[in-house]
Amino acid sequence: MPFFWHYIDFCGCETYITIVYVKINKKGFFVMLDINFIKANVDLVKKAVREKGLEGTVSIDKLIETHTRYIDALKRVETHRALKNKLSEDISKANASEREKLITEATSVKEELSKYEKELDEIKFAFDKMMLWVPNVPSDDVPIGKDENDDKVVRTVGSIRDFGFRPKDHIDLGAALDVIDLERGAKIAGFRGYFLKGEAAELEQALLKYACGVMKEAGFTFMSVPWIVKPEFFIGTGYFPWGEDDHYRLEEDKALIGTAEVSLTSYYAGEILEEADLPVKLYGLSPCFRKEIGAYGKDTKGIFRLHQFYKVEQMVLTTANEEITREWHEKMLGYSEKVLEGLNLPYRVVLKCTGEIGAGQVKKYDLETWFPSQERYRETHSDSYFRDFQSRRLNIRYRDSNGDLKYVYTLNNTVAASPRLLAAILENYQNADGSVIVPEVLRPYVGFDKILPK
């Protein structure tokens, strides 16, 4: 359901939709992809729609046809506005005998102008809604594919431990150690609810602090971000309209963030930076809230796929330079790898295929950490860049050395998400007696080196 229609649900009046539409455009948000780029690269954009599996969400042909209608309507409005102004000027100079005829003509032009302006607003509104659904074009080196089976494993890092016994999953470990309570979590919060207790709760905080330390050392600025955000910033970052159903909405039509990316990337919305200010390097720690609409039947047990969790997120704004952006994409991946390597967890880097990357993403890596109980790697981090897809929607620009205004390029990546990563620690660090060793890098934060069965 497109974002705009929620105003009908909440307000029950079409007038308010028009007010919101005007407000959004006055702010300068939601430019989306450049329509001139779309027209000049029709086949390329159609290919992106097809390869990202979004054929049912937008028709590029209809979009272009609507834009042509918009241009024609705009010309009619501008012509009639000019004629109206000229007639007003002529009336002020006309003698009494000419004035009545000119007033009649001006009244007719004014009525036609009102009709054409209404038509223009309707076409523009339809055009802007369609533009919201146009995806970004993937990078040439992104594998073409439908699902995770078409992803490309770039490299595998770390050794998978030979336990010498059958490793337990984090659910059994958490119960035996009395550090995870799923039963009472479900009682209080419903499906996918959980409690972390004692050492697990401390270990989670240690993990998040450790991840924050890695980003601070890398020169990023720590941000405590809003968790409740206005809808235009979900649209600006590309989470609406595609992922709207997966977010928790509040009565005043704000929503809970599913990642600090929304708040961090929107920080400079509507502003102009100087080239010397770039790159902007921010990281934030926040709770994240997701309905997991598309995860029906997946990971229903344990603390892997949840409605509420914590995440440390990194975000970079850089110049409109593909080479520099790709360098930052690799750097940000490296920071997350440093976290996993510090925790001594086996992982692999996966380049996601076209069907697995988001509508706004140009390219995405996933870091997948080894889960012994499942005998497979599971996604724990996502590293993405967008070129100017988000910055156009949020109107974040910078003035380059020549004085020209350009849209920044945006990137983001997970640093650590818990309790998913906590589950990986419990499973990889378990012993035959049911105890769990605390990773060495986390011990200074918790003051103990082992969790014992209760």
Q: Write out the catalytic residue numbers.
A: 290, 305, 379, 382, 420
Q: Which has the closest alpha carbon to 447: 181, 170, 208, 205? A: 205
Distance between CA atoms of residues 86 and 93, nearest Å: 11
DSSP state of 447: S
**Cα 197 off chain centre by:** 31
Distance between CA atoms of residues 382 and 25, nearest Å: 31
Q: Provide the angle, in degrees to the nearest 10, between the axes of the packed helices 60-93 and 42-51.
A: 130
Contact residues for 431 (Cβ-Cβ < 8 A; gap 6+): 437
∠ Cα 406 49 289 (to 5°): 75
Q: Is 1 exposed, middle or buried (0-12, 13-18, 19+ CB in 10 A)?
A: exposed
Structure token pair of residue 220:
């990023």
Distance between CA atoms of residues 129 and 58, nearest Å: 10
Contact residues for 70 (Cβ-Cβ < 8 A; gap 6+): 120, 123, 124, 127
- What's the maximum distance between 2 C-alpha atoms anywhere in the chain? 107
Distance between CA atoms of residues 371 and 301, nearest Å: 14
Structure token pair of residue 332:
């940000």
DSSP state of 59: -
Query: What is the amino acid identity at position 125?
Result: F
